[in-house]
């Protein structure tokens, strides 16, 4: 934006907005390290004035591009929004003491930290109900500290990682010990261990569960583990997303066993089309629909790959829709 319009014009625009547009609810800033520091330094007073002029800023998004280390007081300006700010998304941000201002935002409910400097995880005094964390490889010890801080306040948790979670037992134990009030859980690259099953069974307020890329357990244990998983699902559960389980793996391979032993009153089930292009699984889904009678929608990845005859048969019992139409994000 800066090269296209010029710093002077952007300063003028921000000045006009500060006077005439004071009820913006969401603001996104992108810091690009390729900009000369003097350009940002020139722009920052106008941007700070604009932020302070807002009366109901509820959502703030910062994309730091992993290299920007100087924010020129722009983040500190969020002090003016301490009574209104409810959600903060930090994407690829390097640590800065300016982020300490977020501790003053007493109404902050949602925090999303995506591939940021790990030091940011330590600086914040969490008092939130929704937490999303993404790293290629998460540091479980830091996550455990965060979960202990948030404790019973945490209701929605999303943990995404690009590789298998190391020390997953510590993560699961922390969730079980500190966070009993979770209603939404998305966790990625974790094994379907007995410890995970115990956690799910203990979350008696759980309504939304998404398991992504559940990795292999010993072959001789798989059917039993899936059966245990199905039986342990709490009766509060309304939404189950297993659409992105790895191919030829637990929940993907044995969805018939899962459905035949599941008593949770699901309203939405999200799976891949390959699950249903199989008569065994199709019949299991029909049995579940007629037995439980709560399922309203099945969301399908690659919806158009589902066979015409299978679709017609299943739609006598449940509505089939593309995955993206009913997926629930944290």
Is the domain of 307 the same as that of 184? yes
Question: Is residue 141 situated within a structural domain?
Answer: no
Is the domain of 120 the same as that of 12? yes
Is the domain of 112 the same as that of 225? no
pLDDT score at 252? 67
Tokens of 251: 């929940």
Q: Which of 69, 102, 128 is the last residue of a domain?
A: 128
Longest Cα pair distance anywhere in the chain, in angstroms?
68
Is the domain of 180 the same as that of 288? yes
Residue 314's domain comprises: 165-330
pLDDT score at 36? 52
Is the domain of 87 the same as that of 201? no
Question: Is residue 137 situated within a structural domain?
Answer: no
Q: Ranked by mean pLDDT, which of 11-15, 193-197, 220-224, 262-266 comes out on top?
A: 262-266
Q: Which of 128, 157, 178 is the last residue of a domain?
A: 128
Confidence band, pLDDT 50/70/90 cuts, at residue 4:
low
Question: Is residue 58 situated within a structural domain?
Answer: yes
Residue burial 298-324, b: 16+ Cβ < 10 Å; e: rest: bbbbebeebeeebbebbeebbebbebe
Cα angle 122-125-130, degrees, rounded to a multiple of 5 = 100
Q: Reading across the β-sheet that carries 208-212, which strands appear in turn? A: 26-30, 59-63, 87-91, 110-114, 130-135, 156-161, 184-188, 208-212, 239-241, 268-272, 297-301, 319-322
| CATH number of the structural domain spanning residue 97 | 3.80.10
Is the domain of 72 the same as that of 191? no
Question: Is residue 143 situated within a structural domain?
Answer: no
Q: Please name the helix (run of DSSP H) or strand (run of DSSP E) that holds residue 27, with its range, or none.
A: strand 26-30
Contacts 24+ apart (CB under 8 A), 107-114: 107/82, 107/83, 110/86, 111/87, 112/87, 112/88, 114/89, 114/90
Is the domain of 16 the same as that of 94? yes
Q: Which phi-psi region, left, alpha or beta, contains residue 12 (left: φ > 0; alpha: ψ -120 to 50)?
A: alpha
pLDDT score at 144? 93
Cβ-proximal residues to 85 (8 Å cutoff; 6+ apart), any chain: 57, 58, 59, 60, 78, 105, 107, 108
- State yes or no: pLDDT of 237 exceeds 90: yes
101 vs 143: CA distance, rounded Å: 21
Is the domain of 114 the same as that of 215? no
Question: Is residue 139 situated within a structural domain?
Answer: no
Is the domain of 82 the same as that of 190? no
**What's the whole-number average pLDDT of the chain?**
90
Question: Is residue 207 situated within a structural domain?
Answer: yes
Question: Is residue 134 situated within a structural domain?
Answer: no
Total domains present in the chain = 2
Give tens-digit pLDDT for 100-140: 999 999 999 999 999 998 888 877 776 899 999 999 888 89
Tell me if residue 319 falls in helix, strand or coil: strand
Total-model pTM: 0.92
Is the domain of 328 the same as that of 203? yes
Q: Which of 69, 99, 128 is the last residue of a domain?
A: 128
**By C-alpha distance, which of 17, 18, 74, 24 is closest to 48?**
74
| CATH number of the structural domain spanning residue 294 | 3.80.10.10
pLDDT score at 246? 53
- State yes or no: pLDDT of 208 exceeds 80: yes
Question: Is residue 120 situated within a structural domain?
Answer: yes
122 vs 319: CA distance, rounded Å: 45
């Amino acid at each position: 934006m800066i090269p296209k319009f010029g710093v002077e014009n952007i300063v003028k625009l921000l000045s006009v907005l500060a006077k005439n547009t004071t009820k913006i609810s969401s603001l996104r800033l992108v810091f690009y390290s390729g900009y000369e520091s003097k350009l940002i330094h020139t722009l920052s007073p106008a941007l700070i004035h604009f932020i302070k002029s807002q009366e109901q800023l509820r959502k703030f998004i910062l994309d730091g591009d992993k290299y920007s280390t100087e924010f020129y007081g722009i983040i500190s300006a969020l002090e003016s929004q301490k009574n209104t700010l409810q959600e903060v998304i930090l994407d690829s941000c390097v640590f800065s003491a300016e982020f300490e201002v977020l501790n003053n935002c007493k109404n902050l409910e949602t925090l999303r930290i995506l591939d940021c400097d790990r030091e940011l995880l330590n600086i914040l005094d969490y008092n939130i109900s929704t937490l999303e964390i993404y790293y290629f490889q998460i540091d479980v010890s830091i996550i455990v500290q965060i979960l202990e801080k948030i404790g019973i306040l945490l209701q929605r948790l999303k943990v995404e990682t690009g590789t298998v979670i190391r020390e997953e037992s510590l993560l699961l134990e922390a969730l079980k010990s500190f966070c009993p009030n979770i209603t939404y859980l998305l966790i990625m690259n974790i094994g379907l261990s007995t410890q995970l099953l115990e956690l799910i069974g203990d979350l008696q307020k759980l309504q939304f569960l998404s398991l992504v890329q559940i990795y292999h357990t010993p072959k001789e244990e798989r059917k039993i583990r899936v059966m245990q998983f199905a039986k342990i699902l709490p009766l509060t559960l309304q939404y189950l997303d297993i659409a992105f389980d790895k191919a030829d793996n637990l929940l993907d391979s044995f969805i018939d066993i899962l459905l035949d032993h599941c008593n949770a009153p699901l309203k939405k089930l999200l799976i891949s089309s390959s699950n249903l292009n199989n008569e065994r699984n199709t019949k299991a889904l029909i049995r579940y629909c007629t037995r439980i009678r709560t399922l309203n929608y099945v969301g399908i990845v690659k919806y158009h790959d589902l066979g015409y005859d299978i679709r017609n048969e299943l739609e006598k019992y449940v509505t089939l829709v593309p995955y993206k139409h009913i997926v629930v994000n944290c």
